[in-house]
Structure 1
Amino acid sequence: MSGRLGEIESRIAATHQLDAVIAAMRGIAASRSHEAHARLAGIRAAAQTAGAAIGEVLAFAPEGAAAGSAAARDNASGGEVCIVIGTEQGFVGALNDELAGHALRHGGARACRWLLVGSRLASAAASRGLACAWSAPMVAHPEAVPPLAVRMTDAVYARFAGGMHATRVSVVSAQPGESRVRIAQRTLVPFDLTRFRVPPRPQPPLVNVAPARLLSGLVEFYVFVQLCEALMLSFAAENEARVRAMLAARANVQQRLSDLTQHYRALRQEEITSEIVELSTGGQAARRTTN
């Protein structure tokens, strides 16, 4: 009996350690999610500034720039580059499977080139028969988002420079939500210039770069900022999913701990009862011997 009690005591101690690890992982994930949300304001401010600059350039850009963008949208029937942002680490539930499934449904009959971010996503995609043309690890800290966005931008433009006939570039990523993670999709190319407000100006501003070249650079920067936002939102969603997974895991551990404690008390009570019975039987035997 004492051996069984010792075994249960060891299991209770191990369960307490597991509970501490889960609590620590939940705390780290919550902290990283909070940090990611705090950095979104700066990213969106940069996008707003770049958008205002694009509107300023459109005010004196050669006529037909916006019309060319609309024509590109109407002609978006060729191949596609699809960026899917997943996770590098586990404990996020079925997030990567949902991302891979959404990407496959989104691809449909298009000739897609898949650019995957996150080792866990790459594994989930491979299990569904989705072959990637490029992949990179997902960031572990918000500070690593801009360098990864640069690599993603370079990978996209490398496809166009390599002669690939693609008329659309889209991003599939996770979005944080109150109760569960959502899957979102946005189109980067063709770039919609008509969404930017063109301010009325009696005279164009003084610039040292040709308007077409300046507009191209601003568009490229705006796409980079959009990738930064998608990565940061995905990073926040990943950690929020991990928080929910850790909460569920802790509930299971707490239930397991309660069951072990109840089992330990029952065995301990059984052991005490057996000792009392043995003492009582021994006392009766001693009295009979004396008589």
Structure 2
Amino acid sequence: MSRARPSRRGRRTVADRHAEIQARIANVTQLQAVVTAMRGIAAARAQHGRSLLSAIDAYGRLVGGAIGRAAVGATADETPAASAPPRTALVAFCAEEGFAGAFSEHILDAVAAAAPEALIIVGTRGAAIARERGIEPTHTAVMPSHVDALPALATSLVDMVYEMLAEGEVSRLEVVFGRQVSDSAVAAERISVLPLDTARFRPQKRTEPPLTTLPPAVLVERLAAEYVFAALCATAMHAYVAENDARLRAMAAARNNIEQRLTDLSMTEKALRQEEITSEIIELCAGAEAARS
């Protein structure tokens, strides 16, 4: 009984499928290299930013302590009273780039709950997602890709906020940013920065007012601006670390999916290669039988 001889059209189909699978494996392998590089960059940035957080927090505490000492000599008449009702300016630190999971969405959920009169969104990707949600920011800013540029960002935000305060557009400043709460989770945190509550900075022990060349109220006002700068630096750094941590987790999940995809494609390639070899053997056997007959 003669064996069925596969047609040339069938052989070409198997060969074409094999070549297609090989091309897909090559493309997925290149994608794996890109994801690995992005994961490494995100890990390096997060680690660098995390190493600077303690110094930035210490700077904020130092300015807060100076405010507390300077406020000892300020009288109630020299301290301006807060206007009512307050108009809030909210600075939201979102993602600058994509591939960060739902990082920006969590921040924008907190923004929607706050309902501020003025909204400053830091992060190009976050601003785009906000507009898709129907949230139009008053101002936008770019989130730097390197920690060295964060102080310049904080300076520009301070100038922006104090301009709105001077024009009477707002009387209160709040910040929403991402803070890492565990190895696998980032939570949106909302804090109030202005008006400054000098009472929480006052030293617990009774101390003499410091010797200064400025009136205590003026000194407190200038230190308050420095404290706002320190607070924005700290929140920007926390947001920077949280965004890169979110991207790190997203890239880790993508890498796992790519590895599984490569495993599936490799198994398919082996099956097609075996089918191709079997077809060749059947053809050779059929040709040998035909030659003998």
Q: Is the pair's TM-score, using the shorter chain for normalization, greater than 0.5? A: yes
Quick one: which amino acid aligns to residue 98 of structure 1?
A: H
On the 8 A contact 2:88/2:118 being kept in 1, the answer is yes
On the 8 A contact 1:55/1:197 being kept in 2, the answer is yes
Q: 1:136 aligns with which of 137, 141, 144?
A: 141
Residue 189 of structure 2 corresponds to residue 184 of structure 1? yes
How far the C-alpha of 1:277 sits from its partner, in A, is 1.1
TM-score normalised by length of structure 2: 0.90
Partner of 1:3: 16
Partner of 2:34: 21
Residue 68 of structure 2 corresponds to residue 80 of structure 1? no
Question: CA–CA distance in 2 between the matches of 1:163 and 1:280?
Answer: 92
Residue 61 of structure 2 corresponds to residue 48 of structure 1? yes
What are the ranges of 5 or more consecutive residues in structure 2 without an aligned counterpart? 1-13
Q: 2:206 aligns with which of 200, 210, 229?
A: 200
Q: 2:255 aligns with which of 239, 250, 263?
A: 250
Question: CA–CA distance in 2 between the matches of 1:261 and 1:76?
Answer: 68
Question: CA–CA distance in 2 between the matches of 1:60 and 1:102?
Answer: 38
Quick one: which amino acid aligns to residue 217 of structure 2?
A: A
Quick one: which amino acid aligns to residue 32 of structure 1?
A: R
Q: 1:89 aligns with which of 97, 102, 116?
A: 97
Q: Give the share of equivalent positions with the same residue, in percent.
A: 40
On the 8 A contact 2:88/2:173 being kept in 1, the answer is yes
Q: 1:173 aligns with which of 167, 173, 177?
A: 177
Quick one: which amino acid aligns to residue 132 of structure 1?
A: P
Question: CA–CA distance in 2 between the matches of 1:211 and 1:197?
Answer: 14
Residue pairs, 1:59-74, within 5 angstroms? 59-63=72-76, 72=82
On the 8 A contact 1:59/1:200 being kept in 2, the answer is no
Quick one: which amino acid aligns to residue 48 of structure 2?
A: E
On the 8 A contact 1:33/1:239 being kept in 2, the answer is yes
Partner of 2:278: 273
On the 8 A contact 1:145/1:232 being kept in 2, the answer is yes
Residues 102 and 205 (structure 1), Cα distance of their counterparts in 2 relative to 1, 3 Å cut: closer
Residue aligned with 1:181, SS = strand
On the 8 A contact 2:96/2:126 being kept in 1, the answer is yes
How far the C-alpha of 1:63 sits from its partner, in A, is 4.3
How far the C-alpha of 1:78 sits from its partner, in A, is 2.6
How far the C-alpha of 1:287 sits from its partner, in A, is 2.1
Question: CA–CA distance in 2 between the matches of 1:197 and 1:214?
Answer: 15
**Moved runs in structure 1, 4+ residues, more than 4 A?**
none
Residues 240 and 150 (structure 1), Cα distance of their counterparts in 2 relative to 1, 3 Å cut: same
Question: CA–CA distance in 2 between the matches of 1:206 and 1:169?
Answer: 30
Kindly provide the CA deviation profile for residues 88-132 of structure 1, in whole angstroms up to 9, marking residues without a partner as x.
11001122122222201121xxx6111111111111111222221
On the 8 A contact 1:181/1:237 being kept in 2, the answer is yes
On the 8 A contact 1:76/1:168 being kept in 2, the answer is no
Moved more, 95-104 or 221-230: 95-104
Question: CA–CA distance in 2 between the matches of 1:170 and 1:7?
Answer: 55
Moved more, 97-106 or 42-51: 97-106
On the 8 A contact 2:106/2:187 being kept in 1, the answer is no
TM-score normalised by length of structure 1: 0.90
Question: CA–CA distance in 2 between the matches of 1:44 and 1:143?
Answer: 16
Residue aligned with 1:41, SS = helix
User: How many residues matched?
Assistant: 278
Q: 1:158 aligns with which of 138, 159, 163?
A: 163
How far the C-alpha of 1:59 sits from its partner, in A, is 2.4
Q: 1:127 aligns with which of 132, 143, 146?
A: 132
Residue aligned with 2:164, SS = helix
Question: CA–CA distance in 1 between the matches of 2:165 and 2:61?
Answer: 27
Kindly provide the CA deviation profile for residues 234-287 of structure 1, in whole angstroms up to 9, marking residues without a partner as x.
000000000011011111111111111111000000011111111222222222
Residue aligned with 2:151, SS = helix
Quick one: which amino acid aligns to residue 206 of structure 2?
A: P
Residue 74 of structure 2 corresponds to residue 58 of structure 1? no
On the 8 A contact 1:23/1:250 being kept in 2, the answer is yes
